[in-house]
Chains A and B, each alone.
Chain A
Amino acid sequence: MSDERPDRREFLSRVAGTTVGAAVTGVLSACAARRLRDLPLEETRERIQALERDYRRRFGPEVSLSGAVALPGVIFGYALDLSRCIGCRRCVYACVEENNLSRDPQIHWIRVLEMEKRLGIDFAHSDSYYDSREVPRAGHFYVPMACQQCDKPPCTKVCPVKATWREPDGIVVVDYDWCIGCRYCMAACPYGSRSFNWAEPMVPPNEINPTMHVLGNRPRPKGVVEKCTFCVQRTRAGRYPACVEACPVGARKFGNLLDPDGEVRYVIENKRVLILKDDLNTMPKFFYFYGA
């Protein structure tokens, strides 16, 4: 009897200890860092499958949600020929359809600025509300803006919860399930390239693009920030971004910066290239050039 008691006590305390331990671990794993990029591979796959099931219920069985990761040896770059762009905004609308951008409230990841030739690139005198049925206007040129996919992104630096980061292939992405919507990144972006979901985004279900990527064009919730991802759902599957395909004058070039024979590399090595706001040292991977 007397030597049974300590045993029992020990047993009980061990049981209690294990239970408490299990409970603590359970709570921790339920609440602990749950950004997509922190999950182990298996859990990432489960999370993506769960999201995919949900989207299929909402938008139809053809939805597929990719979680494709960056390919080794790839850093994406973009080049845009300012001497060709006519300001028709077809890239803007292709982007809206491709990336399931909210129609109401209206969100555009690409903004085309009309500038005066005599002033050169001058944001203060630019106009993004010009009438695109009357382009190109005499004396004007057009500068399409989207995320410059900076190598030193000011936006990721300021995020208080690390909800946005630069992927190994250079694409700056947002975890829509982790963003708290403080909009510090929007204050930090020198290119006005981040959009906030001020209300519940609305995409007509029959217009949804079912080919989705978890870090890209999947449906976003209200109250988070979103941005251009170089069409990650396409480019990581070996396709061009939608804006490149939509451009009627071939002003848009896209490719792997590490590929010596790539299109963008050719442009950088052979054309007069500029980057926007280069004094800020953000090191964009979006190059503007004069092809003609």
Chain B
Amino acid sequence: MTTARLFWRFYAGSVRVVARGNLPYWAWIAFLLALIVSGALAYARQVEEGLAVTAMRDPVAWGFYIGNFTFLVGVAAAAVVLVIPAYIYRWGPIREIVIFGELLAVSAVIMCLLFVFVDIGRPDRFWHLFPPFGILNFPSSLLAWDVLVLNIYLLINFVVVTNLLYSAFARRDYNHKLVWPLVLLSVPMAISIHTVTAFLYTGLVARPYWNTSILAPQFLASAFCSGPAILLVVLQILRRFTTFRIKDEAIWKIAELMAYAVFLNLFLHGAEIFKEYYSDTHHLLHTRYLYEGVGGHDTLLPYAWTAVALNVVAFVLFIIPRTRRNRVTLNIGCAAIYAGVYIEKGMGLILPGLTPDALGEIYEYRPSLTEIQVAAGIFAVGFLAFTLMLKVAVPIALGQFHVDAVPRRERIPSPDNSLAPAPRHVG
């Protein structure tokens, strides 16, 4: 069969797979599409009237968009770093964990790039970032670094995942020489996208709350909390609704590793809080704004303490073997840590960094409805991408959808028809 015909079958088959589903599936898709439409409408208004429709102003020139961007970089990074323990501990079908991790990473990076895009005042000039037509201020600007590493990371994950899936579809062995080096490369790249994003803030002397070397380690620690939390939920869903056999031990092991990550995250925060309060310099003002409020300005207080409470709850649930092995408490822990990190890395990072501003002014920022609509739309794009990719990836990985088999709805595969050979161990 020619490559073109094979690809056509892959394409047509994927469309057919995606276009087939039960009621909850279509309800979910419709829900996401509705959010996307609402986000697009809000964004159109923002383009028309300017960023004045957001709640951002000169004192707080970054807000909800950049907060979400920062959080999602962590999700993108952590999903892939799970590849290492998955490989070391030989969890269940390792290839699938790699695939789902990388699919999650691809979706998260897409959301990251969209959040940066909607934040800029001149989207019509986005191309100014791309040489040779534009000018990228590399290596001086950390934002230039971020654009670079995020795009490389997106590309790597995309190539790996499409290669794995497409070869499984074509019932061929995947390209080991291409895939394994890229999988291994994606691990340091995952760490570097998060480090670079942290340095974006660390490098600013004007903002003492960010200008601290603990930021990058803190970013990584919190990413290892939120990324695996999503993946744990996804793995459980897959185990439940498909014929995947993912070992309990794998899930417990991830939860145990998360307990260490949550602890490390809390510890790093504690170290920073000690330094701030004990030295009691002018810089303390930002930390106080987050946890105590300054001069009656206390918008962030409930969020800050909710995040602390969620992180502590998650730590307790993950560190006690009984609760991390109990399906209910495990998932409560996942939700808690996801929400906790979302607050801490979004509003909890951006807003105290900018409030009070460089001249001491306090502008209390709360995202406008437009910002929330646009952000919800971007999350919907990410979830839609992840859903559709999973919809194609799962039957391929299960061997139900391949070049010789048009997938049928009611077909249940026998356990031994997983088609692609197991990955060769490197080294």
Q: Which residue numbers of A lie inside 8 Å of B, CB to CB?
A: 28, 31-33, 35, 105, 111, 113, 122-126, 128, 145, 154, 157-163, 178-184, 186-192, 194-200, 221-225, 280, 282
A154 touches B120 (CB 8 A): no
In the complex, A19→B128 CA distance in Å? 26
Taking the nearest CB of chain A, how far is it from the CB of B283, in angstroms? 10
Closest A residue to B358 by beta carbon equals: A192
In contact, A124 and B360 (Cβ under 8 angstroms): yes
The number of residues on chain B lying at the interface, defined by a beta carbon within 8 Å of a beta carbon of chain A, is 49
Listed stretches B139-147, B253-261, B395-403; interface member: B139-147
Given A28-B132, A180-B128, A187 and B120 contact (CB-CB distance below 8 Å): no
What's the dominant secondary structure at chain A's contact region?
Answer: loop
- B121 lies within 8 A of A180 (CB): yes
The 6 closest A-B pairs by CB, nearest first: A181-B121, A223-B121, A123-B360, A190-B206, A199-B52, A160-B143
Q: Give the docked Cα–Cα distance between A180 and B120 (Å).
A: 6
Residues B51 and A223 in contact, CB atoms below 8 Å apart: yes
Q: Which A residues lie within 8 Å of B206 (CB)? A: 154, 187-191, 280
Shortest Cβ distance from residue A280 to the other chain B in the assembled complex, whole angstroms:
5
Closest residue on chain B to residue A160 by CB atoms: B143
Stretch of B55-63, B306-314, B331-339 at the chain-chain interface: B55-63
Query: B136 in the interface, Cβ–Cβ < 8 Å?
Result: yes
| Chain A neighbourhood of B57, CB < 8 A | 198
Q: Is A157 a contact of B141 with CB atoms below 8 Å?
A: yes
Q: Is B125 an interface residue (CB 8 A)?
A: yes
Of all chain B residues, the one with the shortest Cβ separation from A183 is: B61
Known: A190-B205, A191-B359. A33 touches B50 (CB 8 A): no
A162 to B285, CA, bound (A): 32
Residues in A whose Cβ lies below 8 Å from that of B133 = 28, 31-33
Q: What A residues does B134 contact at CB under 8 A?
A: 33, 161
Which positions 138-166 of chain B face chain A at CB distance < 8 Å?
A: 140-144, 147
| New A-B contacts (19) at CB < 8 Å, excluding given A28-B132, A31-B133, A183-B62 | A123-B359, A124-B356, A128-B361, A145-B359, A157-B140, A158-B142, A179-B125, A181-B120, A187-B206, A190-B206, A192-B59, A192-B361, A196-B61, A197-B121, A198-B50, A198-B56, A198-B57, A200-B50, A223-B51
Does chain A have a CB within 8 A of B204? yes
Question: Which residues of chain A have C-beta atoms less than 8 A from B357's C-beta?
Answer: 192
**Which of B122, B142, B147, B361 lies in contact with A179, CB distance below 8 A?**
B122
In the assembled complex, the CB of B86 is this many whole angstroms from the nearest CB of chain A, namely 35
The minimal Cβ–Cβ distance linking A224 to chain B, given in whole angstroms, is 6
A188→B206 CA distance, assembly (Å): 6
- Expressed in whole angstroms, the Cα–Cα distance for A124 and B57 within the complex equals 19
The answer to the question of B49 belonging to the interface, with a C-beta cut-off of 8 Å to chain A, is: yes
B51 touching A196, Cβ below 8 Å: yes
A154 CA to B358 CA, complexed, in Å: 13
Assembly CA distance A126 to B142 (angstroms): 32
The reply on B92 being an interface residue by CB < 8 A is: no
The smallest C-beta distance from B159 to any residue of chain A, in angstroms, reads: 26
Within the complex, what minimum Cβ distance (angstroms) separates A16 from chain B? Answer: 23
Give the distance in Å from the alpha carbon of A77 to the alpha carbon of B274 in the complex. Answer: 41
- Select the residue from B122, B125, B142 with max chain A CB neighbours within 10 A: B122
Asked whether, in the complex, the Cβ of A187 is within 8 Å of the Cβ of B126, the reply is no
The residue of chain B having its C-beta at the shortest distance from the C-beta of A124 within the complex is B360
Chain B interface (Cβ within 8 Å of chain A)? 49-52, 54, 56-59, 61-62, 116, 119-122, 125-129, 132-137, 140-144, 147, 200, 203-207, 282, 285, 353-354, 356-361
B146 smallest CB distance to A (angstroms): 8
B360 — which chain A residues lie within 8 A by C-beta? Answer: 113, 122-126
The chain B residue with its CB closest to the CB of A158 is B141
Residues of A within 8 A of B359 (CB): 111, 113, 123, 126, 128, 145, 191-192
What are 9 inter-chain pairs, A to B, with CB distance below 8 A? A125-B360, A161-B134, A178-B128, A179-B121, A187-B62, A187-B354, A190-B206, A199-B51, A282-B205
When distances are taken between beta carbons in the complex, the residues of chain A under 8 Å from B200 are 184
Q: Are A161 and B129 in touch, CB under 8 angstroms?
A: yes
A195: B residues at CB distance < 8 A? 58
Which of A122, A128, A160, A224 interacts with B121 by CB under 8 Å? A224
A124 surroundings in chain B (CB, below 8 A): 282, 285, 356, 360
Instruction: State A188–B200 Cα separation when bound (angstroms).
Output: 10
A190–B358 contact, CB under 8 A? yes
- The residue on A at minimum CB distance from B142 is A158
Closest B residue to A181 using CB positions:
B121
Q: Which residues of chain A are near B140, meaning CB under 8 Å?
A: 157-158
Q: B56 — nearest CB in chain A belongs to which residue?
A: A198
Q: Assuming A179-B122, A196-B61, is B137 touching A161 (CB within 8 A)? A: yes
